[in-house]
């Protein structure tokens, strides 16, 4: 086994890892820039300009200067996404068949609907008859 080739492969993997980690940090920084509504467009342009022309130093400065805010904005975005998903699920799910039957039974007991209408609503809630 040739040890020179072995260490070249290890070195290649190391620099590949460093490059991918840098790209992930860069994408996180750009996403955070556009997620931050308190930062003006001019400052966003300045950060992007320096990320293009002095990427490593700018990324380090950004992470040191705004890293805490990055975590807070990311956490807030996750909470907003979770709340939107929960709201969407509640809207789509609607009511259960038991809830619909209970409402129809209340209407039947109050005399608002007839027994035939109750049976129709009950069968529709159970999925036997489509509306």
One DSSP character per residue, 38-106 reads SS-HHHHHHHHHHHHHSHHHHHHHHHHHHHHHHHHHHHHHHHHHHHHHHHHHHHHH---HHHHHHHHHH
Helix axes 3-35, 55-93, angle to 10 degrees: 60
Query: What pLDDT sits at residue 131?
Result: 46
| 85 and 46 within one domain | yes
| 77 and 100 within one domain | no
Instruction: Give, for 119, the enclosing helix (H) or strand (E).
Output: helix 115-125
Query: What pLDDT sits at residue 125?
Result: 81
Task: Tell me if 5 sits within 8 A of 11, measured CB to CB.
Answer: no
Which segments in the chain show pLDDT lower than 70?
1-3, 94-95, 128-131
**Coil, helix or strand at residue 35:** helix
| 45 and 81 within one domain | yes
Please tell me the total count of domains within the chain.
2
| 109 and 61 within one domain | no
| 66 and 39 within one domain | yes
| 68 and 10 within one domain | yes
| 80 and 33 within one domain | yes
| 88 and 25 within one domain | yes
| 111 and 87 within one domain | no
Q: Enter the pTM of the model.
A: 0.59
DSSP letter assigned to residue 111: T
Query: What pLDDT sits at residue 2?
Result: 67
Pair of tokens at residue 16: 């590949």
| 39 and 24 within one domain | yes
Query: What pLDDT sits at residue 59?
Result: 92
Q: Which domain holds residue 87?
A: 3-94
């Amino acid at each position: 086994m040739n040890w020179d080739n072995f260490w070249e492969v290890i070195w290649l993997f190391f620099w590949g890892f460093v490059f991918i980690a840098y790209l992930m940090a860069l994408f996180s920084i750009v996403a955070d820039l556009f997620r931050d509504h308190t930062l003006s467009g001019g400052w966003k342009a300045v950060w992007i300009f320096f990320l293009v022309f002095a990427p490593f130093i700018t990324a380090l400065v950004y992470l040191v200067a705004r890293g805490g805010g990055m975590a807070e904005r990311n956490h807030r975005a996750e909470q907003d996404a979770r709340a939107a998903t929960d709201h969407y699920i509640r809207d789509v799910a609607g009511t259960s068949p038991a809830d619909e039957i209970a409402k129809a039974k209340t209407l039947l007991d109050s005399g608002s609907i007839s027994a035939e209408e109750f049976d129709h609503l009950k069968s529709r809630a159970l999925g036997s008859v489509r509306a």
